[in-house]
Amino acid sequence: MTEYDQGAAAMPEFRFEPVVMPPAATGLRAEVRAFLDEEKAKGTFVATVGAMVAADPAFSARLGARGYLGMTWPKAYGGHERSALERYVVVEELLAAGAPVMAHWIADRQSGPQILKHGSERARKTILPEIAAGRCYFAIGMSEPDTGSDLASVKTRAVPVEGGFRVTGRKVWTSYAHKAHYVIALVRTGGRPEDRHVGLTQLIIDMKSPGVEVRPIINVYGAHEFNEVTFDDVFVPEDMTVGAVGQGWAMVTSELAFERSGPDRFMSTYPLLVEAFREVGGSPAPMEAAELGRLVAHLATLRRMSTSIAGMLNSGKSPITEAALVKDLGTTFEQSIPEITRRLLPLEPRAAGNGQAYDSLQQLAQMQAPCYSIRGGTREILRGMIARGLGLR
């Protein structure tokens, strides 16, 4: 074998080219930062880890009033016709500040864009302006008691009836369903669970519909985010389908690049990193400097990869494997922050005084960390996707 005879052309190459932020992004960043400083000064919120699962509807409404939600949507639907990159700036500033974004999070990131793209005109007109105003919240109904990573095995059934569907089934781990106005559920409109990807449809279900029941599922650290949602012969009007009947699977998989490469996939424990820097002070010990510096190097790199993907998405590309790489690296990174900082700054009981912020974030981060590499596709599922992108399966 000689060293040079292998064709390099066939090799998968992941290049994370720079993204050119629109000129408006700089001013916007300063504006969002000033707003968040003001809110913090008023005591609206204290920076938390897992901002994505901290809800404050009043805060979400204020974001809506300032034009920070539904940013890229047409004005006709309550949007602001700004670029995806400007939206990226707003989102990462919110996460960096550890602001409570859960209430509007799913609606603004995922459900709204889906409705805009694949929803009926009535759904767009009635729902999108409310999301953009920060008053309308969504949950996502994918997992079921017997359906987790193997999403195509869903059993919840929607039977066609006059003017729509009747839905019967059960969804679990449905975050924020207890406060959400709607859930977008992946249901079976045709075929049997053995038919896998065929016959799946996404429906917008009004949580106030008769037959919808919500039961809390308390998570490992005692918080109520998850729910079990039961549908008992719930009527869903025909024009509340998202996309064509039977096309649910294609839609669920195509949107994942948006969901997997965003700053929420590596910023969950960022506020803990900030507090760790505060604790070590201006002249850190060598090990503190190296370990915290290592985390900063990871974060700067992840941010580059994520903004680069935002640029690819903005120009209409579909970087599925790249997005999976970012989520794999990103969740590993955000999980490592509590583990590394606790080696530097032991968590020991201490009386009131300095370090309270660090202590409470450290505890919450440790308990919350396992979910980062589960939600939105487990690490193992993602590595399988990356392997497919590499031509290994």
Partner 1 sequence: MSSETEDMGVRHLMLRSLDRIVAEKAGHAVQAADGKPGFPTELWSALEEAGMTALGEENEGDLGLGNAAALVERAAYHTLPVPLAETLLARRLLAKAGIEIPDGALSVAPPSASHDGRAAGVPWASAVRGVVVATGPDILALIDARDVAAPGFNMAGEPRETIDLARARVIARARLADAPRVVEAEGALIRAVQLSGGMSRVLEHGLTWANDRIQFGRPIARFQAIQHLMAELAAEAAAASAAALMAVEAAAVRSDRFAIAVAKARTGEAAGRVCAIAHEVFGAMGFTQEHTLHYATRRLWSWRNEFGSEVQWQSEIGRMIAAGGADNLWATLTAHG
Applying CB under 8 A, the residues found at the interface with partner 1 are 1-6, 8, 11-18, 29, 96, 273-278, 280-284, 286, 288-294, 296-305, 307-308, 322, 325, 328-329, 380, 382-384, 386-387, 390-393
> CB 18 → partner 1: shortest distance, Å?
6
* Cβ proximity to partner 1, 27 vs 293, nearer residue: 293
**What are the C-alpha distances in Å from 155 to residues 169, 189, 200, 284?**
7, 10, 10, 55
> CB 5 → partner 1: shortest distance, Å?
8
Work out the burial of residue 88: count CB atoms within 10 Å of its CB; fewer than 13 is exposed, 13-18 middle, 19 or more buried.
buried
> CB 347 → partner 1: shortest distance, Å?
18
* Cβ proximity to partner 1, 192 vs 294, nearer residue: 294
User: With the C-alpha atoms ordered 372, 310, 255, 176, is the resulting torsion angle positive or negative?
Assistant: positive
> CB 392 → partner 1: shortest distance, Å?
4
Residue 230 forms beta bridges with which residues? 170, 213
Nearest CA to 318 among 242, 258, 393, 266? 258
| CA–CA separation, 338 and 333 (whole Å) | 10
Nearest CA to 30 among 99, 90, 81? 90
CA 190 remoteness from chain centre = 29
> CB 77 → partner 1: shortest distance, Å?
30
> CB 243 → partner 1: shortest distance, Å?
30
* Cβ proximity to partner 1, 25 vs 252, nearer residue: 25
Can you spell out the DSSP letters for 170-211? Answer: EE-S-TTTTT-SEEEEEEESSS-GGGTTTTEEEEEEETTSTT
- What does the DSSP 8-state code read for residue 148? S
* Cβ proximity to partner 1, 258 vs 266, nearer residue: 266
* Cβ proximity to partner 1, 193 vs 376, nearer residue: 376
* Cβ proximity to partner 1, 12 vs 222, nearer residue: 12
> CB 215 → partner 1: shortest distance, Å?
35
Residue 165 forms beta bridges with which residues? 160, 236
User: With the C-alpha atoms ordered 15, 16, 20, 24, is the resulting torsion angle positive or negative?
Assistant: positive
* Cβ proximity to partner 1, 303 vs 342, nearer residue: 303
* Cβ proximity to partner 1, 59 vs 270, nearer residue: 270
* Cα angle: 191, vertex 233, 102; to 5 degrees: 90
> CB 114 → partner 1: shortest distance, Å?
28
**What are the C-alpha distances in Å from 282 to residues 142, 276, 289?**
47, 12, 10
| CA–CA separation, 141 and 130 (whole Å) | 20
* Cβ proximity to partner 1, 139 vs 273, nearer residue: 273
User: With the C-alpha atoms ordered 79, 85, 90, 94, is the resulting torsion angle positive or negative?
Assistant: positive
> CB 180 → partner 1: shortest distance, Å?
30
